[in-house]
Amino acid sequence: MLPVPYDDRMAGAANRSPLGVGIHVSARRKLVPSRDLIDRTIEAEASYTLSRLKVLEAIPGNPIGVAYRRLEDNLVALMARHLPVPHFNSVIGLRAGHERHIAPLAAWYRENDVQGWFEIVPGHHDASIGRELARLGYYQSDFHLSLVAEPEALVATPGVIMVEPVTDAALMEDYLDAYVAGWGIPAEYHAQFKANVRPWREQPGWSLYLARVDSRPAATATLFVQGATAYCADATTDPAFRRRGLHAALLHRRIMDAKAAGVDLVTSGAAFLSGSYRNMERLGMRLMFMRAIWTALPDTP
């Protein structure tokens, strides 16, 4: 059973918004990096990922093997035993004083035959965390960026790409068609995958979006709102429609909707120098931090 790879709507003409890729960044920026903003960014991302896992956990019999642990200071350990997606098998929120949790969590992943990873974020890093991970056979294997924006400082300009919210079951089917195409999910898994994730449309704080090209479902994305923080997640584009500005248009629409909802911080993640990262920079988002990803050495028992 294949649920979802990780990572980035349509009701009728009255709900259509002809947003494109143009955003003007005003001079009223007030966002200054701080530990508070780092904490809000991490918590929004962790809450969204946990929400996704809970949808999978609700499948009768929990065939994905979803489990999670919430520890102190917003430290969260996630597991999807039968779904080797890194973000679903990760420890989020490590900070000074948490080194005592690392060995038990590493053992938890090992006992479940899961390749878990640990994230370390600037502002919460402590040398003791790196030493404990190294002692247990972990090494820094990758980076992942978190970007932020003040929606109030971004002003929409007209565009030509239609981005619409997924507001009913029929539109959800179009969303799913574009989603499986974008993530390259094999055809034999389409039916089960779609059944597993149809509940996304009903999740609290979630908004799903769909972009079309010539009336065909072409790209999708999610906006997750938690309090005054919005997280732009899981955007993907059918390969047949890439390089047409759909990702940027979806990002644009989500930022503007977050602004309309009264959110004062929008965040998202991307790989360094990826197309997603470049689009975020073009639309006025800026780097908040670059997290370090630690994974076990291949020969670690």
Q: State the number of CA atoms in the 13 A half-sphere of 81 facing the CB.
A: 14
SS3 251: helix
Residue 158 pLDDT class (50, 70, 90 cuts)? low
What phi and psi values does residue 54 have, to the nearest 5 degrees? -65, -30
Residue 72 pLDDT class (50, 70, 90 cuts)? confident
Q: What one-character-per-residue DSSP string does 91-131 give? A: EE---TT-HHHHHHHHHHHHHTT---EEEE-TTT--HHHHH
- Tell me the domains of the chain and their CATH numbers: 13-30+150-289 (3.40.630.30), 35-144+292-296 (no CATH)
Q: What is the pLDDT of residue 157?
A: 60
105-121: pLDDT as tens digits: 999 999 999 999 999 99
212-223: pLDDT as tens digits: 999 999 999 999
DSSP state of 185: -
Residue 240 pLDDT class (50, 70, 90 cuts)? very high
Asked if residue 37 has pLDDT above 50, the reply is yes
Tokens 């973000």 sit at which residue? 87
Mean pLDDT of 125-151: 95
Residue percentage of the chain with pLDDT more than 70: 88
Kindly report the pTM of this predicted structure: 0.88
Asked if residue 210 has pLDDT above 80, the reply is yes
Alpha helices in the chain (DSSP H): 35-57, 99-111, 127-135, 169-183, 190-197, 246-260, 275-282
* Higher-pLDDT residue of 129, 299: 129
Question: Which residues are CB-contacts of 70 (< 8 A; sequence separation ≥ 6)?
Answer: 76
Instruction: Please give the mean pLDDT across all residues of the chain.
Output: 88
Mean pLDDT of 183-201: 96
Asked if residue 8 has pLDDT above 90, the reply is no
Single-letter code of the amino acid located at 8: D
Q: 76: which strand partners? A: 70, 92
- CA-nearest of 29, 36, 66 to 51 is 66
Mean pLDDT of 242-246: 92
Single-letter code of the amino acid located at 275: G
The CA distances from residue 297 to 133, 135, 139, 300, in Å, are 11, 11, 7, 5
Q: What is the pLDDT of residue 153?
A: 78
Tokens 């079309």 sit at which residue? 212
Q: How many Cβ atoms from other residues are within 10 Å of residue 192's Cβ?
A: 15
73-104: pLDDT as tens digits: 889 999 999 999 999 999 999 999 999 999 99
Lowest mean pLDDT among 57-61, 77-81, 149-153, 186-190: 149-153
- The whole-angstrom separation of Cα 300 and Cα 167 is 48
Burial 148-169 (b: 16+ CB within 10 A, else e): bbbbbbbebeebebbbbbbbee
User: Do the bridges between strand 265-270 and strand 229-237 make them parallel or antiparallel, or are there none, so unpaired?
Assistant: parallel
Mean pLDDT of 191-219: 96
Tokens 């996630």 sit at which residue? 78
Residue 128 pLDDT class (50, 70, 90 cuts)? very high
